[in-house]
Homo-oligomer: A and B are copies of this chain.
């Protein structure tokens, strides 16, 4: 159904190579290394279709534009470095969620974001 164009390949490859969530703009710059004429509209369109296919998932952090990462990584959360602005995956989950859910509320999902300095910026 979806065609494998040069642009689409470049976008998927850039996302995979990055290893951490990328914003549309970061993705544009990265993918332009392979397809220099790439336009931002194409990035958005492909992000949308890749999401619909389930190949990537949005990583939405409070007050930040959405970033995207490859799907299928299992339950995890993110660490946002205040210095370099990169977003890292963190495995595991604090759990203990029922204890903070108000009575009568139905909990379906949760998001969890850590803020601080990554190992590179600590040094």
Contacts of A88-120 to chain B: CB distance below 8 A = 88, 90-97, 99-119
Contact B60 A63 (CB under 8 A): yes
Contacts of A56-105 to chain B: CB distance below 8 A = 58, 60-63, 66, 77, 79, 82, 88, 90-97, 99-105
By beta carbon, the residue of chain B nearest A97 is B94
Prevailing SS type, chain A contact patch: mixed
Interface bin, chain A: 35 or more
By beta carbon, the residue of chain B nearest A99 is B92
How far is it, in angstroms, between the C-alpha of A116 and the C-alpha of B109 when the chains are bound?
A: 6
Contact B93 A79 (CB under 8 A): no
Contact A107 B114 (CB under 8 A): yes
